[in-house]
Amino acid sequence: MIERALISVFDKSGLDAFARGLAELGVEIVASGGTATFIEELGLDVTRVDELTEVPELLGGRVKTLHPRIHAAILARRDREEDRAALEKNGIRPFDLVCVNLYPFQSVAARKDVREEEAVEMIDIGGPAMIRAAAKNFVHVLPICTPERYGSVVAELRERGSIGTPTRRALAAEAFAHTAAYEASIAAWFSDRETFPDRLILSLAKVVDLPYGENPHQRAAYYAEAGARRHLLSRVDQLAGKQLSFNNLNDLEAARALLREFTVPACSIVKHANPCGCALGHDVEEAFTKALTGDPVSAYGGIVAVNRRVEPELARKLADQFVEVIFAPDYTEEALELLRAKERTRILADRERRRGSPGERDLRRVIGGLLVQDADADVEDREGMDVVTSRVPQEPTWGDLLFGWRVVKHVASNAIVLAKDLQTIGIGIGQTSRVDAVRIALDKARELGHDPTGSVLASDGFFPFADGPSLALDAGIVALIQPGGSKRDSEVVEAVEQARAAMVFASRRHFRH
What's the mean pLDDT in 76-82? 88
Nearest to 441 by CA among 298, 266, 324: 298
pLDDT value at residue 113:
82
> Which long-range contacts does 157-161 make (Cβ < 8 Å, 24+ apart)?
157/2, 157/21, 157/25, 158/21, 158/25, 161/1
303 backbone dihedrals φ, ψ, rounded to 5°: -110, 135
- Report, as an integer, the average pLDDT of 78-98: 89
What is the residue type of 493? V
> Which pLDDT score is estimated for 103?
83
Point out the least confidently predicted range of 4-13, 113-122, 333-342, 420-429: 113-122
| pLDDT at residue 278 tops 60 | yes
Give the H/E segment covering residue 6.
strand 4-8
How far is residue 228's CA from residue 236's CA, in Å, rounded to a whole number? 15
Q: 55-59, 82-86, 449-453 — which one is most confidently predicted on average?
A: 449-453
Q: Which residues are the active-site residues? A: 136, 272
Give the whole-number percent of the chain exceeding pLDDT 70: 97
Local confidence band at 193 (pLDDT 50, 70, 90 cut-offs)? low
Residue 371 and residue 364 in contact, taking contact as beta carbons nearer than 8 Å: yes
Helical ranges in 281-430 per DSSP H? 284-294, 296-299, 312-319, 333-340, 397-408
Sequence ranges of the chain with CATH classification 3.40.50.1380: 4-190
Cβ neighbours of residue 50 closer than 8 Å, sequence gap 6 or more = 56, 57, 64
- SS3 letters across 308-344: CCECHHHHHHHHCCCEEEEEECCECHHHHHHHHCCCC
| Segment 445-465, tens digit of pLDDT | 999 999 999 999 999 999 999
Q: Which residues are CB-neighbours of 51 under 8 A, at least 6 positions away?
A: none
d(CA 444, CA 489): 27
Cβ-contact 434, 418 below 8 angstroms: no
Contacts of 85-93 spanning 24+ positions with Cβ under 8 A: 93/4
pLDDT digits (tens, 9 = 90+) for 330-377: 999 999 999 999 989 999 999 875 555 555 788 999 999 999 998 898
Q: Is the pLDDT of residue 63 over 70?
A: yes
Q: For the chain, what is the largest distance between any 2 Cα atoms, rounded to a whole number of angstroms?
A: 97
Per-residue pLDDT reduced to its tens digit, 413-438: 999 999 999 999 999 999 999 999 99
Q: At what angle do helices 333-340 and 312-319 cross, to 10 degrees?
A: 10
Q: Is 60 exceeded by the pLDDT of residue 443?
A: yes
Q: From residue 169, how far is each of 141, 152, 181, 225 by CA, in Å?
A: 11, 15, 18, 25
Task: Assess contact for 17 and 150: CB atoms under 8 A.
Answer: yes
> How many residues would you count in the chain?
513
What number of other Cβ atoms are within 10 A of residue 301's Cβ? 11
For 239-350, CATH gives 3.40.140.20
Alpha-carbon gap, residue 198 to 350, rounded angstroms? 36
Residues in Cβ contact with 481 at an 8 Å cutoff, skipping those fewer than 6 apart? 385, 401, 402, 404, 405, 456, 457, 458, 459, 503, 504, 506
pLDDT at residue 228, rounded to an integer: 47
Give the β-pairing of 386-387 and 502-505: antiparallel
Q: What is the 3-state secondary structure (H, E, C) of 54-72?
A: CCCCEHHHCECCCCHHHHH
Does position 11 have pLDDT exceeding 70, yes or no? yes
- Spell out the CATH class of 383-505: alpha beta
Domain with CATH 3.40.140.20 in the chain: 239-350, 383-505
Q: Kind and range of the H or E element at 29? A: strand 28-31
Structure-model confidence comparison of residues 291 and 381, the more confident one: 291
Q: How buried is residue 405: exposed, middle or buried, by Cβ count under 10 Å (0-12/13-18/19+)?
A: buried
Distance CA 256, CA 270 (A): 10
pTM for this one? 0.82
Least confident of 31-40, 170-179, 224-233, 261-270: 224-233
Q: Measured in whole angstroms, how far is the alpha carbon of residue 53 from the centre of its chain?
A: 44
* CA–CA distance, 304 with 278 (Å, rounded to integer): 10
Cis amide prior to 137 (ω within 30 degrees): no
Pairing of strands 236-240, 266-271: unpaired
**pLDDT level of residue 246 (50, 70, 90 thresholds):** very high
Q: How many CA atoms lie within 13 A of 474 on its CB side?
A: 10
- Asked if the model's pLDDT at residue 194 lies above 70, the reply is no
Q: Which of 104-118, 196-210, 235-249 has the highest mean pLDDT?
A: 235-249
Which string of DSSP letters, residue by residue, matches 94-141?
PPSEEEE----HHHHHT-TT--HHHHHHT--SHHHHHHHHHHHTTTTS
pLDDT digits (tens, 9 = 90+) for 376-397: 988 788 888 999 999 999 999 9
Beta strand segments in 460-508, E: 479-482, 502-505
The rounded distance, in Å, linking the Cα atoms of 247 and 177 is 28
The CATH homologous superfamily for domain 4-190 is: Methylglyoxal synthase-like domain (3.40.50.1380)
pLDDT at 227 over 70: no
pLDDT given at position 374: 86
Compute the average pLDDT of residues 129-148: 93
Q: Is the distance from CB of 5 to CB of 97 less than 8 angstroms?
A: yes
